[in-house]
Chains A and B, each alone.
Chain A
Amino acid sequence: MTAPQARLAVDIGGTFTDIVLERGPGDFISGKYLTTHGEPERAVLEGTRDLLEKGGVAPGDIGLVVHGTTLATNALIERKGAKIAMITTRGFRDSLEMAYEHRFEVSDLYMQRPAPLVPRWLRLEVDERMAADGSVLRPFDPESLRALIPVLRAEGVEAVAICFLHSYMNGAHESAAGALLAAEMPELRITLSHEICPEIREYERGSTACANAYVQPVMESYLRRLKTGIAGLGIPGEIMLMMSSGGLCSLDVACAQPIKLVESGPAGGAVLAAHLAAEMSIDAAIAFDMGGTTAKLVLIDHATPQQSRNLEVARAYRFLRGSGMPLRVPVIDLVEIGAGGGSLGQIDGLGCVAVGPESAGSEPGPAAYGLGGTRPAVTDADLILGKIDPEGFAGGKIALDALLAAQALDIHVGTPAGMDVRTAAIAMVEVVDENMANAARVHATDNGAQLEGRTMIAFGGAAPMHAARIAQKLSIDRIVIPKGAGVGSAHGFLLAPVSYEAVRTRLIPLAALTTEDMGAILSDMRAEAERIVRLGVPAPAPLSESIAVYMRYRGQGHEIMVTLDALPAADALHSMLTALFDAEYRRHFGRTIPGMEIECLTWKLALSGPRPAPTGAALAPEATPAPGPRKRQALVDLASMTDGDAGVYTRTGLLPGMRIPGPAIITESETNTMVPAGFSASIDARGHIVIDREAAVAAKGEAA
């Protein structure tokens, strides 16, 4: 008997639970099920049963279930987590509420900060104090903690976060406090800040620890129920959880550190894009995901999505950095913009067209849906411009009414700005595309990256309609619209490796750093990461290791991440780290500062299990004549604002090797791909649509 081969990926989103069943390599079927908010596992179990039946797969054949969920994020946003307390060093209970002591919106007189997860009366203090070097300034007094136990009991506290000053240097007091509480109150869930986030900066570490404690009881109970339910279906396979870093962890790790599961959906999309980049040998890519309300961008270099350790959830101002709850966890670095198919247009105080972040969502949706929406959404403008085939939208499930779209555009944008409907539609689309292009530009600047020459990988319902125009604006010559991009996140889950990232803060001037210091930090982190990763990847399966050091010039507040494969030899340590730092610094800022002291602050080591190998370079398919268009329709060319005549094709009718010149529309059940004039689309061997700027293709041809 062979091991069960089939795999299942489950992505619980706010509206839909997407399930993908992989029957064998490259053989997928998928389903969308309404999310059941009270008991999310219900949709998962019912959907799974349904999909297994449809796919003709026996539960016993499922070898692995990979799962991602917005449950933790939602608990934070909707404040539906557990009743928690924070236990902290005497004198510091207000750190969580003072946050950064700043106004994130400088000119908003009526600004409000999100309320802390723990009210002041449950932020409790004990006697203890570490110094910045990890030495004890004041010993931990267990009696001061014991005195708090009646309060925890009386208040019905389910979980606590223990956050002591400088615990990232020495966690002994936190551990002692945790052990005492565990002994006295065995039912209590306990998060130690130095375990969940051993990094300097008390507010961020405390915020991360409290958020973990806050979601832990909810997540743990859900995950245990899910485990029982999945086993009850007769599925023998293990459940692995998708993390915000784009890696997987075991169910037990997820129960202990559930905060690392937030934003796993978008991470799945980025993993998928990265896998595609590997398959297609794309060195520099940008993933672009656009749905109904938001668009997300991720830089992907050498098939690896850009990583960071800064995440913010539950923002007071959704798209404003610094207005939310900071979480210091490994995360795929994505920029989110309030731009989607449902984003609404209007005329602002300057007489200009403004689009989003307000969105019509799926109800009432764009005006063209005829569900009561009267304000124009981006989808309405797309329809007027000819980017959508009104007959086949959403697989024919939603009939679009162009008249309603035109009316909404006229009333809210056209008339007030003195434009006809067509111009109003162009204005809305140009503004929303420009917003996304600008967000990409600023994000690239923040990361010292170039956009020019990248390949854009576009997925999500609205992205294929907007990708080409945004690419034009960013001087990007190639766009890939992957096959089956509608459930991209869940697909990505199946491509993610088991991984864990350990981190330490140790401020060491580079000049004083020895290989012994660095080796000790690394082996300490390696032991932690290995213990956790081996739960999912039993020995002797090989693990790959990556090391990163956050370095800066002494006096600077932002560190630059330098990556390396292994501990350098003693005689090369300083020269190698200096060279790596210089190169990164130059990439970000154009120059280095000779003579300036360099210091290392934060250290990171990640271990990952094997990831699915890309299927290797596919041969270029033989050129095949494309079928004639199903029909033709008017399509406005946004770059020149002139009318064009586009062929409309059905994606399922297009085979590898076929090439379609722009202007064209390629329709499929989840989306439409817009190919503007001056571009052409071809279908590659794997069935992906590859859109190229013709001038760029010609130039390459000449060069060759």
Chain B
Amino acid sequence: MQQNAEFHTRVEHAIANGQIKASFRSAMDGLMAKRKAAFPDPDVLEMLRHRGAQVRANSLSKLPELLERLEKNCHKNGIQVHWAETIEEANNIVLTIMQNHQAELLIKGKSMVSEEMELNQFLEQHGIECIESDLGEYILQLAGEPPSHIVAPAIHKSRQQIAHLFNEKFPDIPYSDDVDRLTRNTREILRKKFYAARVGLSGVNFAVAETGTLCLVENEGNGRMCTTVPPVHIAVTGIEKVVEKLEHIPPLLKLLCRSATGQAITTYFNMITSPRKPGEKDGPEEIHLVLLDNGRSRIYEDDELITTLRCIRCGACMNHCPVYARIGGHAYGSTIPGPIGSILEPQKAGLDKLGDLPTASTLCGACAEVCPVQIPIPKLLNRLRYERTRNDHTGATLGQSSGRTVMEAGIWRSWSWVHSQPRLYRTTLYLITRLRKLLPQRIGPWTQVRKAPQIAPKTLHELALKEGFNDK
């Protein structure tokens, strides 16, 4: 977990690197266009978003009850459920399952929760090899980098960079920067791993409480392989991913796929309800579900901040964010980047650690406009700015008051004083307008790329009086 001060350094670095912006800009343009094409009718889209928000809000409103129901129904289906309050606990649960099966290799489908757990590093310390089988994640594993986007993790890499990376890691395979060739090579490498691994791991997009079903959305088929080929399947997910009923899945699925990649549905949609039953020809013999809290129940405590947990991880907010498009995902220094990351991650890690993220937004509202479950992201960014600077301590937000400085508090106190006393305000503005020629023309970072604004000779208050506009 990286901290506030480093955020600014990473931003400078990202912006100085023209390739980051070029990659993200064109990739985000493409994703925005695809989403737009997938929702041709704005009224239908609004109805669907409203439905999505309702479904998620309903699930969160009875979260403890639904989790218990999920556990009961999974159990009935033969899925073993494990609860983890912290990432340490979650990692140890996975490790124990691996050790119980003498497994030395874990084949993984894409899972942001496993990124949050830093599972690969943990298991490798215990002598277990992890192989990412999602193409983007596999590229990043070779490069030793974290994902920079939650749906398209290697979006920051160019085709040529990937070709060179493969050539460096697999010198025996002839160099190619042809996408189909690179994909085919990867498939050949991974195919052997699928057969060799005793345990496969996946994330979960939605967990259905009433049926004990784990839903998994993916495009490459690697998710289906991970969850069906090895004898043991471990699914890891956050506790917020539960929904009440099976009938809640279609609207969410529709919203997720279209918002993320503009697809009506992904190439693969897996609904996992039990391990292999007697007489069945395939599927794992054991399924484990690991439900991770890691700060989520603290977010759940707050009536406003709870909406953070509605997120279905489509990535549309980052695709549409003008800040994300400039600095890329790595600059955020958190597992999940972009607007949703800027509200979620500081609440999990603490505002003392990631409190700068909520300030890195113009509050333009592009994220909230596209969010399929209507999370009021700008409102929550504002709320977290408040939590970070407030000088009283109430509520559960971690790292409250950590960003309050004497100077900033002093500036706002004086500002508030001047702007709530009309005579003082008018006198101040009178003086500024009359002394405007004496004021500095260079004002901090503002004038590094802009001319200073020109102060008027007379205020609107004065003009209104002069032109005879009534005061009452």
Chains A and B bind each other: no
